[in-house]
Structure 1
Amino acid sequence: MKLASGYEAFWEAAHKNYPDQIKSGGLLDLRFLGGFSSVVSSVVNDDYSDRFVKPSERGWTSSIYPLSFPMKASASIPKRSATVGALALTYKGLINIKTPFDLALYTRLIWELQPKTILELGSFQGGSGLWFADHMSLLCDSPGEVHSFDLHTKCIHESAKHPLLTFHQIDLSTVENLDKGLLTRLPHPWLVIDDAHVQVFSIFSYLSDLLISGDYYVIEDVTVDANREIIDGLQLAEQSGFLVDTYYTDAFGINLTCAPNAWLRKS
């Protein structure tokens, strides 16, 4: 029986390390693995085929909107939501504002991409920048640099320090304020995360010309609302050679991320 692509290594390791359990029909029973593999094969196979698609070919259905915020609690709508959880989630005591889904996805992407540069638009308290720097140092064979940009740098906590992390004070409402001299010297691959929600597609248009094939651009929160501006913006992304990486948008369910249809990879 052939298991779903991507599980061969797991199956070989299971045979090697758990031969008794397999023979006895335990947890790693072949029938169980066969059924399990058929359920998850659509996600696993994203590693191999049909993983990257044009934004215009994607619908806006979502398994759940992770940033939904119920105004009133009821029996069917609890007080807590993914938004409340994300706001309450801290990293080393600092506000991070990332859902558990997206933290898991970024962990995988940093390991897979091995970025030399991470650009974060929107610093807030510095918790997410510190998270990115720590994970780059842990997951990258040759750690690079994390640069975080925000106007209100006074909000950055004094403990948000890391040798790979630099904060820059900048008004992102004017795209020309970005230091092109700095950007052009930064090594690739790049991972750009827009969590500033300021002039989103103007900044995207500016930065996209500096990205090269294989770089990633993630637009958080904004694309939860599929309005005309967002649809037109993603069409711009498509015209600029960006494809949606469906592994990251759909790993936990269709568009179960704070960046629906917006884990973008430059082709």
Structure 2
Amino acid sequence: MAFYRTNLPTHELVLGMIYTTFFLLLATNINSVQALSFNFTKFTPNALMFPSGITFQGDAQTLNNGVIALTKRIKLPYGTTIPSTGRILTPPVSLWDTAGNGYGVPTDGLVFFIAPQDTKIPPNSESQYLGVVDSKNTYNQFVGVEFDLYPNSFDPNTKHIGIDVNSLISLKTVKWEFASGSLTKVSKAYDSSSNTLSVVVTYANGKFSTIAQIVDLKAVLPNKVRFGLSGASITGFAHDIHSWSLTTSDLKTTASSALDKLQAIYDN
């Protein structure tokens, strides 16, 4: 896409055969934004210790084959359910510098979110609540992009990708043409000059869909935040993360740049 510059933060995801990128178009003249960098091509317990500082919550765990399972992998008898929710989080990073000159970074489904540094799995957040909101409250402080396989009462009546702010009632959605074995690319861009979060979905056949929403991150989130991945299921549906890399840079005279990539697998 012509409006994406090459030096901007990127966030890549593969869900089975799903590929996504994430861009944060940052303000310039950021003076002292905290840098964060890691690169996991395979997950082992030792690799997740300090200094990378990846935090596990709920049922998330590292498997023997070197992937992270966000939810329990269980073969359940027909008609039975077991709630399972798991998340992984980066260490805290700063969204903007202390002078306030701009932004510094960046069987139901997954959600990629930015939340306050003390974020925890809310109670009653299994299944359609994706581990980010309490079913009895349905509000929490986060900005996210959800990949939702199952339409619930507050969802459009289709598999969809949604832009969420403090709620899973998405501000904007686009149909998710999820199909096993097909490649879908989802590009998300945030432009801090216009406070616009955009999502572009490109399918294997070359067709694409776009959505955009104005979201002022500085008004919604505190300065100290974590990037997170959250999955939830009640049917033993697997949400597996196969690789993840993230880099945020401190560039004193230009926009901070970041690279955030991950690979995930959906398995029945």
Category of TM-score, reference length = shorter chain: under 0.3
Higher relative contact order (CA 8 A, sep 6+): 2
TM score, norm. by length of structure 1: 0.28
Structure 1 or 2: larger strand share?
2
